[in-house]
Amino acid sequence: MLTQITLPQIPHPPQHFIDRARAKANEFHRGHEDASSTPDNAHIFNSGYVEREYIRHGVLTKTRRQHVFNIGEDFDKWVADNIHPYPYEAGISVGVPLDAPIHGPHCDPRRRYVLNYILDTGGDNVRTVWYREKGQPLERLHAAGPEGKGYWVKDYADLEVIDDVVFGPGIWILLNPKIIHSVENLQGYRTFLTISLPDMNQLPWNNRIPG
């Protein structure tokens, strides 16, 4: 079952979108965002999901969360014209707080597939890890946390690693967010262009579609 695949055949975003995304991320990190730039995923903010903590190597550890900001209708149109005709929640994703070393094990309930294009990796050895929760199915297509916004596993001891990858910047990566996954060894800024997709059948494949 697919956890991730890099897609070099998908076109790079034009530089002006990258520049605009970086400007939005920098604005956010400087604390200058205003009410008009509320993240697209603001629905999770007051749910309890963002305050969750994990038991990692026996130590209670706080997690980062991702804030997603739209960067313009012209970016949405470029995505629809060049990548997938039905994208949603497309924009720049910014990870906070910066002092948290992980984005702990979780599933994304609103997104069937995700395309990410990393701008800032967050460190030299940042690893994206997929897991099977012991005694549970691999894909959690309908799983949600107690507040209905996301599913996560608090204790790493309840998980078995099935994939472990270091992604570099500057290439599109297709991810399966319905399998529990985490991001490990975070040290600095981690930002990426992100696109939510309802399926992967309409991507511009130049090779076989993965199973």
- CATH code (residue 131): 2.60.120
- Structurally, the chain folds into a number of domains equal to 1
In a domain, 211, yes or no: no
**Average pLDDT score over the chain:** 87
In a domain, 207, yes or no: no
In a domain, 66, yes or no: yes
Q: How many CB atoms lie within 10 A of CB 160?
A: 10
Give the domain range for residue 110.
Answer: 4-29+54-197
In a domain, 40, yes or no: no
In a domain, 210, yes or no: no
Q: Given strand 181-184, what is the order of strands in its sheet?
A: 151-152, 103-107, 181-184, 127-133, 159-165
- 77 — pLDDT class (breaks 50, 70, 90): very high
Question: What phi and psi, each to the nearest 5 degrees, are found at residue 204?
Answer: -80, 70
Residue percentage of the chain with pLDDT more than 90: 69
In a domain, 151, yes or no: yes
- 140 — pLDDT class (breaks 50, 70, 90): confident
